[in-house]
């Protein structure tokens, strides 16, 4: 029976990878990557020479057919994303669904857990996180207001991802929908988690927004926003 391993990789710092993940990446026949150039940097760092194959959200059906054929040939595969855990704000879930639909119980799918920006941000937020709402990346335009209303109405802590291009817009949108300061008990903006310029912003929504607006460097990178209720 072939194995498909779903392997979490570092979100920044290359040391944030488990010994088990490294072993699996060495042992499999092929590694499926969101971007082979990104994954090869990780593999080179740990002197892993396993072949790679690109698989991402724009991959054609023929690529999925190729992956399924590899499994039919009893090849063991590993699926990784550029950073973090496959399937979390990532098209990996779609591939797994197609493999299960085609091969059923003839392939074993095994998670190799590890980093995600979601849990990293929650772990340092200092907010109640026994229950939370994760919305990933909000839509750019269509449906965005619906997601903003979900944030407003949620009884639980909310976590979203946002790009550098829309961070200020998102913070300004939050200021508009939360007309009472008491509605947001805590807000934490995490920038470039585990990377060289990692920065954690805590405080009022107004204060954090102004600090980031007045610092161009603070508007660079990748962001996780935790909204405590």
pLDDT by position in tens, the chain (length 229): 999 999 999 999 999 999 999 999 999 999 999 999 999 999 999 999 999 999 877 667 788 999 999 999 999 999 999 999 999 988 788 899 999 999 999 999 999 999 999 999 999 999 999 999 999 999 988 899 999 999 999 999 999 999 999 999 999 999 888 865 555 668 999 999 999 999 999 988 889 999 999 998 899 999 999 999 8
Domain end position, chosen among 112, 127, 143? 112
pTM metric for this prediction: 0.91
Number of structural domains found in the chain: 2
Domain end position, chosen among 112, 135, 153? 112
- 145 lies in which domain range? 117-228
Q: Check whether residue 108 and residue 25 sit in a common domain.
A: yes
Q: Residue 90: its pLDDT value, please? A: 80
In Å, what is the CA distance from 140 to each residue of 92, 147, 157, 169?
A: 22, 11, 22, 10
Q: Check whether residue 99 and residue 181 sit in a common domain.
A: no
Beta-carbon contacts of residue 184 (< 8 Å; ≥ 6 apart): 174, 178, 205, 227, 228, 229
In Å, what is the CA distance from 181 to each residue of 178, 187, 204, 217, 218?
A: 7, 11, 8, 27, 24
d(CA 227, CA 184): 7
d(CA 208, CA 225): 11
Q: Check whether residue 105 and residue 154 sit in a common domain.
A: no
d(CA 43, CA 187): 36
Domain end position, chosen among 112, 136, 162? 112
């Amino acid at each position: 029976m072939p194995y498909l391993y779903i392997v979490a990789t570092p979100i920044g710092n290359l040391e944030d990878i488990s010994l088990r993940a490294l072993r699996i990446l060495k042992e499999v026949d092929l590694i499926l990557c969101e971007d082979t150039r990104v994954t090869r940097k990780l593999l080179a760092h740990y002197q892993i020479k396993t072949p790679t194959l690109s698989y991402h959200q724009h991959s054609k059906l023929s690529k999925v057919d190729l992956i399924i054929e590899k499994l039919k040939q009893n090849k063991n595969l590993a699926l990784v994303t550029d950073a973090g855990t496959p399937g979390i704000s990532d098209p990996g879930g779609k591939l797994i669904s197609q493999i299960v639909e085609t091969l059923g119980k003839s392939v074993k799918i095994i998670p190799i857990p590890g980093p995600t920006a979601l849990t990293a941000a929650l772990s340092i937020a200092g907010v109640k996180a026994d229950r939370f709402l994760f919305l990933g990346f909000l839509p750019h335009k269509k449906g965005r207001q619906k997601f903003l209303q979900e944030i407003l109405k949620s009884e639980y802590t909310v976590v979203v991802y946002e790009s550098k291009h829309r961070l200020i817009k998102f913070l300004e949108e939050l200021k508009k929908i939360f007309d009472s300061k008491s509605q947001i008990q805590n807000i934490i903006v995490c920038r470039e988690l585990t990377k060289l310029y990692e920065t954690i912003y805590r405080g009022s929504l107004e204060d954090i927004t102004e600090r980031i607006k007045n610092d161009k460097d603070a508007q660079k990178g990748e962001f996780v926003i935790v909204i405590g209720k």
